[in-house]
Amino acid sequence: MRAQPRASHFVDGAYVEDAGGTPIDVVHPATGEIIARLHEATPAIVDRALAAAERAQSRWARMKPVERGRILRRAAEILRERNRELSVLETLDTGKPLQETLVADAASGADSLEYFAGLAATVTGETVPLGRDFVYTIREPLGVCVGIGAWNYPIQIACWKAAPALSLGNAMVFKPSETTPLSALRLAEILHEAGLPAGLYNVVQGRGAVGASLVSDPRVAKVSLTGSVPTGRRVYAMAAEGVRHVTMELGGKSPLIVFDDADIDSAVGGAMLGNFYSAGQVCSNGTRVFVQKGIKDRFLRRLKERTERIVLGDPLDETTQMGPLVSAAQLDKVLGYIATAQAEGARLVTGGARAGQNDGCFVQPTVFADVTDDMTLAREEVFGPVMAVLDFESEDEVVARANASEFGLAAGVFTADLTRAHRVVAALEAGTCWINAYNLTPVEAPFGGAKMSGVGRENSKAAIEHYTQVKSVYVGLGPVEAPY
Ligand code: NAD
């Protein structure tokens, strides 16, 4: 098997196996080839990982932040040195084209490690003067954090959780998605090669039940999940039982609004990036594309032309622009949404069918026009290359319709009128908005959702809030005045 790791789990600084766990077959979705066989973590493995994390964390928290940062910065360098090999692994595991993984996955993980490496030593408390007495505050790590990942950006998600957690003095036990379990193990290896002491970053494999056993363990102080809204609700409820801190990065059905004064090619390019990158498996995708009526025909014509030129094929070929979906289950789900859209009266502009042959999970990049707000395609997250184009006439109307969703992850506006752009963005209910751009998520900017799309923010200085807590220390400088 061409991507078999040394063992299923990475615990207390070393690979460990426990063949007693239920097997997990790792499948390359372009061909159906089994590339690795792992085992789910047994309760004994979960216990070892949490115990190791708890043991290692207090000494790590006492280390000088600049020293913690140095280790993370070295890990970022190793990630960059091994970018190609990590990208090939990510492409085998997810099916995303190498053209993308070479620039977007390990590379953004390295950015995150580098950013939080630098931030570590800048986190300070404050002094609160009270006349004679004063209070000072200390930002302390939370302790043992659990990270749970989705399958669309496996190493990026692993880094986006590990980097802030570790830089701020926490330990982490990470459970990757059972669909894409491989690259987090490589991250664990690299972090230790860079000098991370054993026990601080552990990887355990498993399906939802393993995740649940981590989330409900009393040793855990914080849970950061990237996943769907239904999983988020369950994990949030379990974490609440133990009054644990949470970050919830969940799903979306984000609006992308194109006004009739927009640069058409930029707007079409933004809509394509926001629907077809990673074969549409991006949480912040702008899957409800609202196009103002005056430019509808021109927009659709240009969109159809450019969509039909997308190069679909072997994701390991660097000229391929779109690979398969991540799994056969996701393929069935996406084909189901396409059939429902047709049954509900959406007009197919291009695509709409399975592509390729044999066991590859390929779907043609698909565009539906004349989609209305009540259709399933406009309400539910598809997580595949299926764009819904909706018409609108006025600004007030489109803002109201854009906000009429339980989700609030992201939103975009294309217009030449920047006054309108800022006005519209101010009215949109979303954690991240783009003006004349789409789906750019630099580590320097906070990222996360409003409404059902999540709680908390990843990346940027905002993540400090979510991986530390504040201790207030009151210092009395005079005699105690007691009334008795
Ligand atoms: P999912 O919700 O099925 O699974 C996510 C993770 O949760 C997996 O590791 C899974 O094993 C685990 N899990 C499932 N049940 C659990 C339970 N009861 N307790 C603990 N853990 C449990 O999501 P997915 O299909 O892997 O990923 C796609 C979803 O992730 C989409 O909805 C997408 O929008 C979302 N996503 C969000 C972001 C973001 O940053 N907001 C980023 C990427 C993906």
Q: Which atom belonging to ligand 1 lies closest to the Cα atom of 449?
A: 41
Cα–Cα distance measured from residue 363 to residue 385, given in angstroms and rounded to the nearest whole number: 7
Instruction: Tally Cβ neighbours within 10 Å of residue 329.
Output: 11
The burial class, CB within 10 Å (0-12 / 13-18 / 19+), for 13 is middle
Q: Which two tokens stand for residue 190?
A: 């690299």
The residue from 100, 178, 249, 381 that is catalytic is: 249
Q: Which two tokens stand for residue 247?
A: 């970050």
> Distance, CA 176 to ligand 1 centroid (Å)?
10
Q: How many residues does the chain have?
A: 484
Place of tokens 């970050």: 247
458 is annotated as an active-site residue: yes
Q: Which uninterrupted H or E stretch holds 290?
A: strand 288-292
Query: Is the distance from CB of 359 to CB of 31 less than 8 angstroms?
Result: yes
Ligand 1 first shell, C-beta below 6 A: 148-152, 175, 177-178, 207-208, 211-212, 215, 226-228, 231, 234-235, 249-252, 283, 381, 383, 409, 449, 454
85 is annotated as an active-site residue: no
Cα–Cα distance measured from residue 158 to residue 90, given in angstroms and rounded to the nearest whole number: 12
Which amino acid, residue 149?
G
Please tell me the predicted confidence (pLDDT) of residue 356.
84
Query: Is the distance from CB of 171 to CB of 147 less than 8 angstroms?
Result: no
Chain-centre distance for alpha carbon 143? 22
Query: Is the distance from CB of 87 to CB of 72 less than 8 angstroms?
Result: no
Cα–Cα distance measured from residue 222 to residue 85, given in angstroms and rounded to the nearest whole number: 32
Q: Is 273 helix (H, G, I), strand (E, B) or coil?
A: helix
Give the chain's end-to-end CA distance (angstroms, integer): 77
Please tell me the predicted confidence (pLDDT) of residue 21.
98
CA-closest candidate to residue 169, choices 92, 69, 269, 264? 69
DSSP state of 417: -
Q: Which uninterrupted H or E stretch holds 108?
A: helix 106-119
DSSP state of 322: B
DSSP-based helix, strand, coil % in the chain, nearest 5: 40, 25, 35
CA-closest candidate to residue 206, choices 251, 162, 160, 149? 149
CA distances in angstroms from 195 to 72, 118, 341, 483, listed in the order given: 9, 16, 52, 55
Please tell me the predicted confidence (pLDDT) of residue 358.
74
Cα–Cα distance measured from residue 320 to residue 314, given in angstroms and rounded to the nearest whole number: 6
Residue nearest to atom 32 of ligand 1 (CA): 228
The residue from 40, 54, 253, 283 that is catalytic is: 283
Q: Which two tokens stand for residue 76?
A: 């970022």
Cα–Cα distance measured from residue 413 to residue 263, given in angstroms and rounded to the nearest whole number: 11
Q: Which atom belonging to ligand 1 lies closest to the Cα atom of 383?
A: 31
The burial class, CB within 10 Å (0-12 / 13-18 / 19+), for 303 is buried
Could you read off the pLDDT tens digit of each residue along the chain, which spans 484 residues?
Answer: 999 999 999 999 999 999 999 999 999 999 999 999 999 999 999 999 999 999 999 999 999 999 999 999 999 999 999 999 999 999 999 999 999 999 999 999 999 999 999 999 999 999 999 999 999 999 999 999 999 999 999 999 999 999 999 999 999 999 999 999 999 999 999 999 999 999 999 999 999 999 999 999 999 999 999 999 999 999 999 999 999 999 999 999 999 999 999 999 999 999 999 999 999 999 999 999 999 999 999 999 999 999 999 999 999 999 999 999 999 999 999 999 999 999 999 999 999 999 987 789 999 999 999 999 999 999 999 999 999 999 999 999 999 999 999 999 999 999 999 999 999 999 999 999 999 999 999 999 999 999 999 999 999 999 999 999 999 999 999 999 999 9
Query: Is the distance from CB of 463 to CB of 218 less than 8 angstroms?
Result: no
Say which residues have a Cβ less than 8 Å from residue 82's Cβ, sequence separation at least 6: 106, 186, 190
Q: Which two tokens stand for residue 270?
A: 């933004």
249 is annotated as an active-site residue: yes
CA-closest candidate to residue 106, choices 85, 127, 120? 85
Q: Which two tokens stand for residue 335?
A: 């084909």
Say which residues have a Cβ less than 8 Å from residue 419's Cβ, sequence separation at least 6: none
Q: Which atom belonging to ligand 1 lies closest to the Cα atom of 252?
A: 34
The residue from 90, 100, 114, 161 that is catalytic is: 161
Instruction: Tally Cβ neighbours within 10 Å of residue 208.
Output: 14
Say which residues have a Cβ less than 8 Å from residue 39's Cβ, sequence separation at least 6: 8, 17, 18, 19, 20, 21, 22, 23, 24, 205
Cα–Cα distance measured from residue 133 to residue 385, given in angstroms and rounded to the nearest whole number: 61
Instruction: Tally Cβ neighbours within 10 Å of residue 441.
Output: 21
